[in-house]
Amino acid sequence: MRAPRFIDIDGKRYLWRDLLRLRQEQRAAARQAEQPALFELREDSRPPTERTAAGRYLEPSLFAQTQ
């Protein structure tokens, strides 16, 4: 059995190869799309141990900063 040459969508007739080509173009455009950042990225200036929750738990610095 052969693949159909045409497909009916909402009463309109489309060539199957045209739909495949359009889908390939959609996929290529989606791969190249760039999503803008929601906010400005800034460098983390904290010491390395304070950059993670585990590091802050292991080495609390509450009293070290008040001196």
* 38-66 pLDDT per residue, tens: 999 889 888 888 888 898 888 877 766 65
pLDDT computed for residue 27 by the predictor: 95
- Give one word for 10, left, alpha or beta, with left for phi > 0 and alpha for psi -120 to 50: left
Residue ranges per structural domain of the chain? 1-33
Q: Report d(CA 63, CA 43) in Å as an integer.
A: 25
Predicted TM-score (pTM) above 0.85: no
- Beta pairing class for 12-15 and 6-9: antiparallel
